[in-house]
């Protein structure tokens, strides 16, 4: 296994990680990424295999677990009840209960809300140059999740602030200040949701929190701590990824001068899949080995960690011809942008629906939309999204 050196905060890498991925992938499926001190999977075959290999999982083996610094305790208390960090049987129980509430019927019922919100935001676009991220890409997912959960839409700025502070814990250059901010956000977010959940227990409504409270399987229900972690996961994971996906999508469509036919009703689903493949909003997901396992020529020991590079897998020429070209008419093939296996993203249908509705509305309402300056990606790896997207109508 080769050892590769590439800082995830290097400016050139932040703007274009695909060049590093291509060089690494050409030399093999798995390499040791020295900057993360772990093996990393670069090929589509390796990423897909490891996503589904039950010898690997998200939960840290007990003998490798260490107590987090005391000041981060509120943040990790949320993580402790998150299904994203759990494995069977705990994950099976949590996911089954969540899916009983987070149904396709509830998601599809949001279509009209999504369309109306898009039009409202476009109506409020300022004249001249403006940043499309806060004007369009950011408010759509956060306000929809507020509606979905059943919390006041006016609380969206607070939800957004808590979300940003908490997901900053996943970037490679986090500082003590980042950790303290995440702990405060976790404390405030938990207290907010605890109050909302208590209110919903006595006054049920037609919202996801009420459905999560009522979700039951064989007499088992989610505890209050599990409800809080689930709501935070839906906001943090769903919102953060969808904002990046929308921003990256608009950037790509404008830079490639994609014909409007690609956004037509009969083509939009395929175009969205290609947009997600071409410039995924999340580039790394990690797993732990639960037993000795030899995969793609490397033997893992129990407790070893491996990085699955979703963005690299999506540009593998062994899976997609000419993968560095955006081709909206490309024959659809499952990409890695939403993960896979037991931890396939529960919010994927909602993210797809938001993109399939928001993008055609944006470009139909703003046919002259164009970039006002070269977009730049934010230094937030393993996320991959823009720091701003200046446009002109």
Q: What is the arithmetic mean of pLDDT over 275-287? A: 97
Per the CB < 8 A criterion, the answer to whether 135 and 372 are in contact is no
Model pLDDT, residue 332: 80
Per-residue pLDDT band at 366 (split at 50, 70, 90)? very high
Residue 65 has pLDDT above 90, yes or no: no
Instruction: Determine the Cα–Cα distance for residues 216 and 286; give it in Å rounded to an integer.
Output: 30
C-alpha distances out from residue 40 to 79, 90, 283, 287, Å? 24, 27, 12, 10
Query: Which of 1-15, 46-60, 204-218 is least confident?
Result: 204-218
Instruction: Determine the Cα–Cα distance for residues 364 and 368; give it in Å rounded to an integer.
Output: 9
Q: Which two tokens stand for residue 163?
A: 């979300």
Domains detected in the chain: 3-392 (1.10.630.10)
Instruction: Determine the Cα–Cα distance for residues 225 and 235; give it in Å rounded to an integer.
Output: 16
Model pLDDT, residue 236: 87
Instruction: Determine the Cα–Cα distance for residues 313 and 315; give it in Å rounded to an integer.
Output: 5
Per the CB < 8 A criterion, the answer to whether 133 and 386 are in contact is yes
C-alpha distances out from residue 105 to 102, 123, 208, 342, Å? 8, 29, 12, 22
Q: What is the mean pLDDT of the chain?
A: 95
Model confidence pTM above 0.85: yes
Per the CB < 8 A criterion, the answer to whether 150 and 208 are in contact is yes
Per the CB < 8 A criterion, the answer to whether 46 and 302 are in contact is no
């Amino acid at each position: 296994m080769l050892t590769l050196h590439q800082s995830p905060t290097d400016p050139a890498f932040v703007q274009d990680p695909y060049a590093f991925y291509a060089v690494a992938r050409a030399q093999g499926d798995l390499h040791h990424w020295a900057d993360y001190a772990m093996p990393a999977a670069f090929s589509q075959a390796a990423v897909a295999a490891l996503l589904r290999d039950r010898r690997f999982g998200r939960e840290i083996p007990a003998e490798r677990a260490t107590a987090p610094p005391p000041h981060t305790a509120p943040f990790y208390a949320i993580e402790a009840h998150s299904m994203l960090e759990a494995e069977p049987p705990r994950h099976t129980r949590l996911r089954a209960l969540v899916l009983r509430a987070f149904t396709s019927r509830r998601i599809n019922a949001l279509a009209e809300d999504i369309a109306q919100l898009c039009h409202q935001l476009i109506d409020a676009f300022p004249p001249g140059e403006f940043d499309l991220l806060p004007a369009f890409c950011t408010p759509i997912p956060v306000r929809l999740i507020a509606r979905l959960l059943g919390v006041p839409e006016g609380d969206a700025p607070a939800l957004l602030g808590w979300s940003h502070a908490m997901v900053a814990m996943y970037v490679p250059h986090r500082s003590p200040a980042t950790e303290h901010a995440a702990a405060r956000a976790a404390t405030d977010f938990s207290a907010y949701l605890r109050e909302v959940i208590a209110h919903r227990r006595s006054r049920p409504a037609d919202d996801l929190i009420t459905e999560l409270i009522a979700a039951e399987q064989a007499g088992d229900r989610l505890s209050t701590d599990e409800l809080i972690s689930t709501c935070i996961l839906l906001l943090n994971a769903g919102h953060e990824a969808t904002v990046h996906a929308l921003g990256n999508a608009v950037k790509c469509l404008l830079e490639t001068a994609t014909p409007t036919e690609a956004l037509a009703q009969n083509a939009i689903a395929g175009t969205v899949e290609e947009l997600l493949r071409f410039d995924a909003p999340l580039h790394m997901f990690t797993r732990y080995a639960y037993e000795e396992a030899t995969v793609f020529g490397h033997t893992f020991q129990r407790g070893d960690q491996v990085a699955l590079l979703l963005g690299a897998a999506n540009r593998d020429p062994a899976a997609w011809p000419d993968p560095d070209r955006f081709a909206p008419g490309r024959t659809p093939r499952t990409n890695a942008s939403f993960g896979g296996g037991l931890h396939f993203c529960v919010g994927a249908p909602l993210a797809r629906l938001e993109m399939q509705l928001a993008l055609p509305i944006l470009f139909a309402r703003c046919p002259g939309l164009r970039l006002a300056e070269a977009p730049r990606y934010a230094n937030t790896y393993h996320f991959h999204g823009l720091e701003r997207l200046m446009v002109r109508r």
